[in-house]
Amino acid sequence: MCHPRPYAYAHHVPSLTFLSSGTYNPATSWLQHTDSIDKMAEFTHFNESGRARMVDVTGKDLTERLATALAKVFLLPETLEKIQRGKIAKGDVLAVAQVAGVMGAKRTPDLIPMCHPIVLTSVDIAFKEESQPDSQGRCSITITATAKTTGPTGVEMEAMTAASVAALTIYDMCKAVDRGMSFGDVCLLSKSGGKSGTYTRGGRG
């Protein structure tokens, strides 16, 4: 009787005992083959066993924290014109995107696993339209999202989520007329508050 050959990669799979011992974590195994104890200290979202955790912010001071993020949507000139003239069938594109950005900021801890649920005291979304096509013939809408809170942890992720969700909403509102829209330049522009102080993109905090 012919027996099937074992899979070639079987010897690479750790045993159940090894997996359940708490010493192996695929996401951080590269750390465990080096000076793991020293390396783990540098990554606050990992515990001593290399498992993901939410950082303990219990002892941190409650300070006013502000963060501003940016995202860009690139689209055809005729699509931008339709948005400006209110000719998109789904409705007022930027008004809907603005509300979506605020909602996205509030749902950040539901989307980003290690984000703390925080009380946002302000979320503001602004748009800047660029009607002059670039070298690829695309116009753009720049989204700026600013989030604010008073608490033990920052709002960088809330601001970036707000900008990203607003960009995705513009796509959803306009995809029937321009499926080739794209996104770019999603980044943190600035933040203030907390132990790390002030950060400004392209400058010094």
Which residues, other chains included, contact 118 with Cβ-Cβ below 8 Å and sequence gap of 6+? 109, 149, 151, 153, 155, 158
Type of residue at 135: S
Q: Residues 35, 172, 178, 185: which is the catalytic one?
A: 172
Sheet with 199-200, side-by-side order of all strands = 120-130, 139-151, 63-75, 182-192, 199-200
**CA gap 169, 161 in Å, rounded:** 12
Query: Is 172 part of the annotated catalytic residue set?
Result: yes
- Which tokens is 121 given? 């005291």
**Is residue 23 within 8 Å of residue 33, measured between CB atoms?**
no
Type of residue at 37: I
Cα→Cα distances 97→195, 197, 199, Å: 33, 31, 27
Residues labelled catalytic: 172
